[in-house]
Amino acid sequence: MNLKRLMPLLCTLALTITACTPFSFFNRTTVSTEPHPTVSDGDPAPAPTGRSMRDVAVFYTEHEPGYPDSSDALSLHHDNMSSLIGFWYQVDPVTFTVRSVYPPEVVAASVARAKAYGLHTEMLVYNFLYGSTRTSTAVLETLLTDSAAQDTFVASLVDTALQLEYDGVSIDFEHLKPSRRDAFSRLIERVAEAARAAGLSVSISVGAKTWDDPANGWAGGYDYARLGNAVDRLIVMTYDEHGYSSGPGPIASIGWVERVVRYVTSQVPSDKVLLGIAGYGFDWNRAGGRPRYLSHGQVEALRQRVGAPLRWDAEANTPYFTYYDAHGNLHEVWFENADSTSWKLDLVDKYNLGGIALWRLGLEDPALWDVVGQKFVPVSRM
C-alpha cells in the first residue's frame, strides 16, 4: 500500500491502538532525485484505444479526517470497478491474530455495499501502524521465525475471511528485512495454500523495483517470481518514486513505471500483475522538511489558491506546478491526475497485465474514472 501513502489516516487509527510516530509508514528508500526532465504545455493525454477486459481493484479506507472518503467514490464509480480491497485489518502484535481497526459493524456495512455492487472483496492485513517501525519489523520477524505465531496468524486470517464472507485475502507486509526473503516467501506460500483450501483468493502488495537487488532495504525481500507463483494477484506498488524520503519529483514517472513493469513481467505471468496507481500528490518545500501528502482535490484547491499555472513534465508524463509561500519559500507540487494515469493504463494493455490497483479510492482525480471506462471493462462486468 504500500502506500502498500496516508499519514492522517494512520495517525487516526494509531490513536485507537497506540501512540503514532509520524512518517513511520512512509520511511522508504526512493529511487531517484535526478533533475527534472523536459517540460511541455502540450496535450498530455494519449489517444483513446479500444476497451480491454481488466481487473480494476481499489484500496478502500474508512473515514480519514481531512481527506475525501472512499465511500463517496465507491457510490459514484463502482460500475468501473471489479475488486475492493478493504484496508481494515492488522496483525495483533501480542497474540498474532488478525484484528480489525474499525468497529465490526462499520466494516460489515462496507463489505455488504461492495457485494451489492457485484465487487470481489478481499480483506487486507498489514503489519504497520503500531507507532514505530521497530514494532512493525518485530511483528513480521516473529511471524517469520516463530511457528506457533505463524500457525495462529494463518488460522485467524482464514477464519476471519470466512466468518465475514470475504471472497479473498490480501497481504501488505512491509519493513521486511532482505535477509528474511526466503522465510517471507514460505509464509506467503503457506497463506496461499490455506486460503485456497478454504475457497479464498489471495493477493499481495510488493515494493516496486526495476531489477532484483536482494540487499535493497525496501524491495529486496520480495522475491517476485516465488511470490507470483504463490498468489492469484501480485500488486506492484508503482508509486513514491519520489516521496517522503526524497526531494521533489514525479510520484510515478512513465519511464520508471515501465521499467518496473518490464522487470516484474520477466518474473511473474503478466495476467497476475496489477499495476499500482497513485491517486495523490506531494507538496515539497524546497527550504527543507518532509512533503505534505495531498488528495487530488487538495492539490487543485492549492493550485487555484496560489494562482499557479499547471505544468506538464513531457518526459515523466506527469503534472506539477510551483509556487512561493508566504515566507518566500519555493514549493514544488507533483501529483497524479487522469492524464498521467491514462499513460499508465496504456502500459497495462501493452504488457497485457491483469489490471490495476488504485491507492486509494477517494483521493484520486474524479476524471480518472472516465479514462478507466474508456480503456477497460472490469472483469466482473463481463
Tell me, what's the pLDDT at 20?
34
CB-CB neighbours of 351 under 10 Å? 15
CB-count exposure of residue 221 (10 Å: 0-12, 13-18, 19+):
buried
pTM of the model: 0.89
Taking the C-alpha atoms of residue 57 and residue 72, their distance in angstroms, rounded to an integer, is: 16
255, containing H or E segment: helix 254-267
Helix, strand, coil percentages (3-state) for the chain, rounded to 5, are 35, 25, 40
Distance CA 177, CA 217 (A): 7
| pLDDT of amino acid 32 | 31
Can you give the residue ranges of every domain in the chain? 7-25+49-280+337-381
Domain 7-25+49-280+337-381 sits in CATH 3.90.1310.10: no
pLDDT at 25: 26
Query: Active-site residue 336, yes or no?
Result: no
Q: Which pLDDT value is given to residue 64?
A: 86
Q: How far is residue 164 from each of residues 110, 123, 126, 316, measured CA to CA in Å?
A: 11, 9, 18, 42
Q: Which residue of the set 64, 122, 174, 241 is catalytic?
A: 174
Write down the pLDDT at residue 50: 82
Rounded to a whole number of angstroms, the CA Rg of the chain reads 20
Q: 360: cis peptide before it, omega within 30°?
A: yes
Q: Walk across the sheet containing 280-285 and list its strands.
A: 39-40, 311-313, 318-324, 330-335, 280-285, 292-295
Q: Name the burial class of residue 42, with classes exposed (0-12), middle (13-18) and buried (19+) by CB atoms within 10 angstroms of its CB.
A: exposed
Residues 6+ apart with CB under 8 A from 300: none
pLDDT at 4: 40
Q: What tens-digit pLDDT sequence spans the chain (382 residues)?
A: 544 455 445 444 443 433 332 222 223 333 333 334 444 555 566 666 689 999 999 999 999 889 998 999 999 999 999 999 999 999 999 999 999 999 999 999 999 999 999 999 999 999 999 999 999 999 999 999 999 999 999 999 999 999 999 999 999 999 999 999 999 999 999 999 999 999 999 999 999 999 999 999 999 999 999 999 999 999 999 999 999 999 999 999 999 999 999 999 999 999 999 999 999 999 999 999 999 999 999 999 999 999 999 999 999 999 999 999 999 999 999 999 999 999 999 999 999 999 999 999 999 999 999 999 999 999 975 4
